[in-house]
Structure 1
Amino acid sequence: MGSTQRIVIDALVFHGDGIAEPLKTGGVTAANVTVAPYLQGMVPAFDAMARWLAAVDDPAAGWRLVRRAEDIPAAQAEGKTGLIMGWQNLLPLESNIQRIRAFHAMGLRVAQLTYNEANLVADGCGETRGAGLTDFGREVVKELNRVGVAIDLSHCSEATVQEAAALSDKPVLLTHANAKAVDMRVRNKTDESIRAVAATGGVIGVSIHGFLNWDGDPKHPPTLENFVRHARYIADLVGVEHIGIGTDFACVQDPAQVEAILNLSRNYPGPAGVFINAFGNRLADRYPGDTPTPRQFPLILQALERAGFSAAEVDGIAGGNFLRAFGQIWH
């Protein structure tokens, strides 16, 4: 095992109810939590972030807001969980690039360029035309770099990933994506895209989530062993220093709170619907059977150790690699 003060970062939690307990129980130091609706505009995003800021102010909720990389070990020292406020779509910008700075002031630190389909910034992985950044999107990438918001390319098209990586002067991230070479899922990334992200100094958050961590056979539910196959493949491709973990967990007391988001998945037959048809649409069924919630996070790290990753390598995958990249991006 690594140090007892190991930094553990979950690079993608798709929803939270405002209470840190499941992450805290699982030993997670900080998490990139999606704090705005996926498919809505500015006002819902603003209101949702306002609610999260109120949760941070509630001592019982257990959060410390992360604005700089050093806030993550500080949260650990305080016995709190670091809240990294993230978006999975840039729809709240509409066509106003100045909003990036304003939302950064509210605490936004990770922004995915688009969510499966196209927006004004770029194409997502679900767009059959497979285009990349728009002219506006190129300006957005530069502004995210300038302000200090991490660029997430997880749900983006291959062209968007590669163009954004080439344009960015800061590390870019795949907070939750696996390797297409291991499992040919719509949401996974080609070797070329993985290399492009790593070349920026970026990190790929390997995921346990069934939409990414599944071979397409209804007889084979997602497993930790298959997750480790992705981690090993990407380590061999670009180096273990470019690997993290992005579970795509929900951090909730009551799984019923995410029903609306689970149902949203049905709108994406390629990325999600085929898995739902095979295994149903319960939250727990999207993950390996032994890790249905963030409370079981230590089992993910144990699976990496059993697979032969050294303690120092697991320290990096668990959180050290994302912490390094955040330190280069945020300022």
Structure 2
Amino acid sequence: MTNRREFLGTAGWLAMGAAAGMPALARESAAAPTWAPYRKSYAIDGLSGPDLLYFAEDDPMYADALKAVRECGLTSVMTTAGPQGRFWYTNEQFAETKQRIADWNAKIDKHADLMMLVRNRADLEKTRRERKLGVIYTFQGAEPLGEDLDRVTLFRDMGLRVLQLTHNRRNLVGDGCMEPGNAGLSKLGNALVERLNAEKIVVDLAHGAQRTIREGILASKKPMLISHSGCRALAPEAPRLVYDDELKLLADRGGVVGIIFWPYIRSQGQQVAADVIRHIEHAVKVCGEDHVGIGTDLGTTPAKITPEFEKENLEMIKDMIEQGIFEKRDPKLYLFPPDLNVANRFEVLAGMLSARGFPDARIEKILGGNFARVMGEVWG
């Protein structure tokens, strides 16, 4: 199983490595308006994960991670089983990915009163009906497949239901968003999209270069996702976000974009809930309300702001700026919006959308109904 050191050291997951909530900001969020239909609606995070999966039972964070599973109110989360930008084409990596999924399956089974593995449309509906946290396995990059597309079937049998083609860099199937060449999908990439369609696995184009996203949308015969991103029209310097032309094409082909909570969504300064809402509103304007969701890229457990956390967080943000993942900016910021640093962040955000005049039906779609539609159509 992924150990705590690896968990805390992985860019993108450090921010939720600790438990509980930031006292002042958590109180501010708790006072925000919530949304009455929340507990009856789909609430699907396009990229997240129960932190419980990463911690051993004797870890001091385990109890708080368990508490967050109970309190988040989410019905399902897409959770990364590998490789998150790591270029592992070895037998060791292949074996490790299989072992991680097996370990996580065992932990989900152990907490069957709270969680369940989602394999099909019926499972997705069960998570909503029974208010369990459904875990949907995804890969952030096709590296675990190597050049062997038969591994798609193997991983599908183990529970994989979504596959993101690339991470930030170039891999065997296409270019990620940080590649200046913008070379799009390879022949292997096109063959992989065809195989994913045949195996009823959702194609995810998050982290793709502009051409990779466009070509992936056009290659897929089934609706696809951009699970966690945002609108580049609002932050043109951020390569992780998506241009309006690709967002419109995604919507025209039945797909859904999930709005991320990361600093990308604001050109400078600390992003807050208002920035998330700004991207949601722009995406709805471009795509329509049937094609927008939420993909936080955060764990289910709110961050506890301690001196140790502040030190680790600052070093991580500095490193990400050096890598070019974020443009040059003040590194004193968090990956999460501080006013949504609570377990029930979807419920709080829904209340904010309602206060801005969003009708209930639109909120239901954005919180998870749109993701559920695509998944149900692809999975059957």
Q: Give the TM-score normalised by the residue count of structure 2.
A: 0.78
Secondary structure class of the residue paired with 1:17: helix
Q: Which residue of 2 aligns with 1:272?
A: 326
Q: Deviations over 1:202-260 (max 9, x none)?
A: 101012222x2212x2xx31011111111111111120110111111123588799x79
Structure 1 residue 15 displacement after superposition: 7.0
Secondary structure class of the residue paired with 1:176: strand
Higher relative CO (CA 8 A, sep ≥ 6), structure 1 or 2? Answer: 2
Aligned equivalent of 1:180, options 217, 232, 236: 232
Question: Which sections of structure 2, spanning at least 5 residues, go unmatched?
Answer: 1-34, 54-64
Distance 1:143 1:254 in 2: 39
Which structure has the larger Rg over C-alpha atoms? 2
Distance 2:251 2:162 in 1: 17
CA distance 1:115–1:47, change in 2 (3 Å):
same
**Conserved 8 A contact 2:259-2:279:** yes
1:302 aligns with 2:345: no
Partner amino acid, structure 1, of 2:371: F
**Conserved 8 A contact 2:141-2:163:** yes
**Conserved 8 A contact 2:49-2:135:** no
**Conserved 8 A contact 2:202-2:225:** yes
1:10 aligns with 2:64: no
Secondary structure class of the residue paired with 2:121: coil
Q: Which residue of 2 aligns with 1:30?
A: 76
**Conserved 8 A contact 1:116-1:126:** yes
Distance 2:351 2:377 in 1: 28
**Conserved 8 A contact 2:255-2:291:** yes
**Conserved 8 A contact 1:37-1:44:** no
Distance 2:283 2:303 in 1: 34
Aligned equivalent of 1:191, options 244, 248, 267: 244
1:56 aligns with 2:108: yes
Distance 1:58 1:198 in 2: 39
Partner amino acid, structure 2, of 1:73: E
Q: Deviations over 1:156-212 (max 9, x none)?
A: 0010000010010001101111000012212100011111211220101012222x2
Runs of 4+ in 1 over 4 A off after TM superposition: 252-257, 262-265
Q: Deviations over 1:73-103 (max 9, x none)?
A: 2123334211111111110001100000110
Distance 1:129 1:114 in 2: 14
**Conserved 8 A contact 1:20-1:81:** no
Q: Which residue of 2 aligns with 1:329?
A: 378
CA distance 1:23–1:318, change in 2 (3 Å):
farther
CA distance 1:52–1:136, change in 2 (3 Å):
same
CA RMSD of aligned residues (A): 2.4
Aligned length: 320
Structure 1 residue 11 displacement after superposition: 0.9
Q: Which residue of 2 aligns with 1:143?
A: 195
Secondary structure class of the residue paired with 2:197: helix
Secondary structure class of the residue paired with 1:174: strand
1:288 aligns with 2:334: no
Question: Which sections of structure 1, spanning at least 5 residues, go unmatched?
Answer: none
Q: Which residue of 1 aligns with 2:366?
A: 317
Distance 2:318 2:184 in 1: 23
Partner amino acid, structure 2, of 1:303: M
